[in-house]
Structure 1
């Protein structure tokens, strides 16, 4: 499998293993319980298959993802990978919380250092927290101490905020951006990716399949795509030399094997005609974008029991398929959009900045007809 250098740092395989969507059981309230043994086995299978980049974070799987990764990386596996995890900025109340949480993460991960450490899901408010608490200085101290090797951030906000963060610290080594062939004008934007690379940052890609949407396209899109839609999506990203690693949240061995097989291929550079085809597919998808939910489940569990991702999925299906298909899913929810009271707790944690409380009454009215 091809390896690419991450900025001026280490090299890693072009396919990385994301640890946010590992095997788990989800109850009717949307609460997830990680299937630990399966997760460990899956991580090791990915590494044995050639993947060298493992990405996790403090909150994933109810704060158990790092535990699973730490256990999986025993028995010599730690030395075979580039390990990335993230600082939960929303939990920082004092400057010293940064280092204490890092210590907790190192203990969970059973390691003495993090290869790539990110400030998690930065946006305008969290960036201000970073500045107010002098977290950037703390990062540099931890890097000097050797507990962090490379400094970076993941991003979820608008383009202007992205450039404030990108240009607001001269020691970024890399960044992690949401990018795929239909999100080119979203969040950091494709131009932001290019500009970050031009400043010397390594580029890690998240949501290459937009929460699985691009892997299972609606019929009208499927008819346009030549061959495997997963390959189609990955190839667009791997075609860009600015991209170091593309993360995929694989939740079973079949997905790992499929994606590894794709990453092991040698692709020709995309032609102008092929790039134009991606634009045509994007144009069709753009007509179906009712709610940009990726089912990350950060909003769950809802304090009032609403299955927020399920309601959005049902609503989106009506655009890509038909109303009856969406209604079948919607009617099967334990508590649908009618249970929303507009507390907006979900909106505070949504990486996509979806106005959930605004959408819910619209969805309820739509399906009540």
Structure 2
């Protein structure tokens, strides 16, 4: 395991952090996962008040293990008044069994309304806790748009950011770069699951990434970037940790062999999509029907280029169901109004491509992993 400085927090974190959203079966399972993570060299655990009994299970495991030398991050929702925030912090401290929370993140700073909350007494209460030393570092996680991410980073209120960014979704690259430039810690969330369900990749993607496994390729692509501190790895059982952590000591720049994978993936995308390749410029937005056109077409890109259809169906099935955590309506809401067409620099026939994507990806919708947020 390698370790990196978590920006201005000063914490030296393992390049993989244990995310506990999936460790919800029972306290015994979580303790086994935690013990195995520590054995692999992980020293940072991430949880949230909204992850069911996760905080309580972690607190129980920490007591059983004699409070090993770990850094803890928990998350609270950006909502409520000062009293509500105080209750959230005190409850998290009690459940985790700690006097001090090493890191606290606002959970889902996703919208302009959430940004406005930063000017309330609730946020001021968090800052007071930080000044008193009850909270160490203060950060935020976001599933929101790039403009929201950048606006939150530019407030100067935060020491770290948790965000989505993978080889297969590079939209947030400017946020990663800006956070690193401001000496913020950068924590990449769900690079395996929301990054493409890379733990069960289609054969076409495996062939393109060979001799690397697609999961390892994506981790290496991320870890080769020094501005990124740590990647989330989730495990429902202790045995699930060994395979992803096989690259935990590989943080150097991409080798020629690894760069060749990037070249093959890019070439395959160009060849498969041709003149119908959506290059994710986002100029087509906003859509009058609230269709997230770039994300729909990104899923289409991945399906046609790499046969990532199951992942596409998984994500597409969330449109219209997950609110600000995954905004946008299904593509069959398109009315052929044509407003997007003159804005597209690639001159894509967007309504037709949206219909194609909907026809291919309208598989059975799936609930989010944790429905409590």
**TM-score normalised by L of structure 2:** 0.72
Q: Post-superposition shift, 1:134?
A: 3.2
Measured in 1, the distance between the counterparts of 2:304 and 2:170 equals: 24
Q: Deviations over 1:77-124 (max 9, x none)?
A: 5341110010122xx332321111110111111111111110111112
Q: Secondary structure at the match of 1:176?
A: strand
Residue 127 (structure 1) shift: 2.2
Residue of 153, 169, 173 corresponding to 2:140 = 153
Shift of residue 181 of structure 1?
0.7
User: Which of residues 169, 172, 191 in structure 2 aligns to 1:183?
Assistant: 169
Deviation at 1:40, TM superposition (A): 2.1
Q: Could you tell me which residue of structure 2 aligns to residue 17 of structure 1?
A: 18
Q: What is the correspondence of 1:264-275 to structure 2 with a 5 Å cutoff? A: 265-266=249-250, 268-271=252-255, 274-275=258-259
Q: Note if 1:2 corresponds to 2:2.
A: yes
> Which residue of 2 is the match for residue 38 of structure 1?
29
1:366 deviation in Å?
6.1
Alignment correspondent of 1:95: 82
Q: Confirm or deny: 8 A CA contact 1:221 1:284 kept in the other structure.
A: no
1:252 corresponds to:
237
Counterpart of 1:202? 185
Matched pairs, number: 307
**Using a 3 Å threshold, how does the CA distance of structure 1 residues 218 and 285 change in structure 2: closer, same or farther?**
farther
Give the direction of change, closer, same or farther, for the CA distance of 1:321–1:5 in structure 2 (3 Å limit): closer
The answer to whether residue 336 in structure 2 is matched with residue 347 in structure 1 is no
- RMSD over aligned Cα atoms: 3.4
Aligned to 1:220, which of 204, 222, 237? 204
Q: CA deviation at 1:267?
A: 5.2
Q: Deviations over 1:205-245 (max 9, x none)?
A: 11212336123222211111122222211111111111111
**Per-residue deviation at 1:357?**
9.4
Q: Which residue of 1 is the match for residue 347 of structure 2?
A: none
SS at match of 2:188: strand
Cα-to-partner distance string for 1:284-338 (whole Å, 9 max, x where unaligned): 57979xxxxxxxxxxxxxxxxxxxxxxxx9xx98996699x99xx99xxxxxx8x
Cross-structure match for 2:101: 114
Q: Distance in 1 between matches of 2:28 and 2:363?
A: 40
Displacement after TM superposition at 1:126 (Å): 4.6
Q: Identify unmatched segments of 5+ residues in structure 1.
A: 25-33, 289-312, 331-336
CA contact (8 A) 1:181 1:282 kept: no
Equivalent residue in structure 2 for 1:80, among 55, 69, 92: 69
Counterparts of 2:360 and 2:2 in 1: how far apart (Å)? 48
Could you tell me whether the CA contact under 8 Å between 2:55 and 2:95 is conserved in 1? yes
* Distance in structure 1 (CA, Å) of the matches to 2:115 and 2:68: 36
Residues 76-85 or 113-122, more deviating: 76-85
- Measured in 2, the distance between the counterparts of 1:276 and 1:130 equals 45
Contact residue 27 and residue 60 of structure 2 kept, 8 A? no
CA contact (8 A) 2:187 2:231 kept: yes
CA distance in 1 between counterparts of 2:220 and 2:360 reads 38
3-state DSSP class of the match of 1:4? strand
- Contact 2:80/2:122 (CA < 8 Å) preserved in 1? no
Distance 1:218 1:117 in 2: 37
| In 2, Cα distance between equivalents of 1:207 and 1:285 | 23
| CA–CA distance in structure 1, aligned partners of residues 219 and 70 of structure 2 | 21
Tell me the CA shift for residue 282 of structure 1: 5.7
TM-score, scaled relative to structure 1: 0.73
CA distance in 1 between counterparts of 2:100 and 2:113 reads 24
